[in-house]
Structure 1
Amino acid sequence: MARHDPVPERPLKFLAKELQAGRLVLFVGAGLSHLAPAKDGSRRRLPLWDGLLDHIAKEFGINRSEFSDDPLRVLDMAVTVRDRPALIAEVANCIDAENFDPSKAHKELKDLPWAYFVTTNYDDLLNKDNKFRSIITEDLYLWEGVHSVKKLIYAIHGNLDNPHTLTREDYRCWGERNPRASRRLEDTLFNRTVLFVGYSISDPNFGDILNRVKRIMGDKSLTQKGLAPGLGA
């Protein structure tokens, strides 16, 4: 992970208070998965977003430099070159999470009393022990929490079996295609404090998330509505 200056004491106390009160939501990105150790003991790591896009570009014969203005369009081009099932299969091949164990950070974070989790990751490392209830598809939002005492994980982009939000077109239409998930995200941003962990400002994935947040929040500042800065990869 990149080195960061120590977090000032005041925001840490605020986050601790929100956590204890059950108001703190953990929003997880690829940087957390990148910490997971390989089961074979090698130094191999799961890819960050840039690494995934490099892999897809190479496998599909795409020149990434042609899409420097919008890297996620590499995934649209992969669908054009072959088809969506081929892209999904290659994403699963690149993010082979079954060959990795949860990191120490995974284990320590998931034991804290978060209100719930939100993630853009497709892997299941945060829920390897099936301790939580994963809300993956739009239909599952109808049943969130029903007959379940488990803490919820909102996997807003799906999982490796069903990565429903993957291409630039998927991102563009996310709100229309996932209205229940969109309302949950809006409710989270307005009524909870959110800690982002495992994101880099340079990730196209995170850039899209921030734009989505800005559209939801309107002219309100992020800090006014309780968005806490997180830890990048």
Structure 2
Amino acid sequence: MLFDTHVHLNADQFEEDIDEVISRARVAGVEEMVVVGFDEKTINKAMELIEKYEFLYAAVGWHPVDAVDMKEEHLEWIAELSKHPKVVAIGEMGLDYHWDKSPKDVQKDVFRRQIRLAKKLQMPIIIHDRDAHHDIVDILKEENAQEIGGIMHCFGGDLAIAKECLEMNFHISFGGPVTFKNAKTPKEVAAQVPLDRLLIETDCPFLAPHPFRGKRNEPAHVQLVAEKLAEIKEVSYDELTEKTRENAKKLFSIN
């Protein structure tokens, strides 16, 4: 009984075989997935998918890489879409200092505006953090994001950052990188995250777990993430999957 909290089934990589990809996920035991939209095209596709499949939910937000493209009407549109009963979070949002399409000050402004919107809507947020751990934490604190909490998606920080995020009411989500043989820090962090604040994801089509590293990722592979986390946490696979699914449903207010 798996809940993949972060998929991009709305990506072009799945255009040819989405039904087969979803079918494989179901066979692997994936009960629910959140399709994350982060710009106009992917948000529209996410909304289409949640209408078609009863077990899919959506998150809608604006990606930091594309922060320069976000207009006020996009925020208003996101607010309107959030009224849909199957839109369960705002995001992904955050900071990305790896790519330089959007200046840091623009990224920060767009990030803050989305946090404020989510607080107004009383919805959890999904955080994208690439090479920006301390600035992310500072902004979450300054904007009192603990009021709504959310997910540190595909967490890549160290234990100190994880602890700060946990203190702010955030869940820590792990994807494929926790399965990599050289992934020392993610494994150390996963060992310390309380079971009731842990989530699993694929971020497919990206970041496929071992032994599929470098290939197209898909939701069925979340099983491998769960297996590795169960091993790290020294709990049974069933306990790990049951708890992470329960955590996701509670966070997203899914009955």
Question: In which range does the TM-score fall when normalised by the shorter chain?
Answer: 0.3 to 0.5
Q: What TM-score do you get using the length of structure 2 for normalisation?
A: 0.35
Q: Work out which structure has the larger RCO, using CA pairs closer than 8 Å and 6 or more positions apart in sequence.
A: 1
Which of the two has higher C-alpha Rg?
Answer: 1
Q: What TM-score do you get using the length of structure 1 for normalisation?
A: 0.37
Q: Which has the higher strand share?
A: 2
Q: Which has the higher helix share?
A: 2
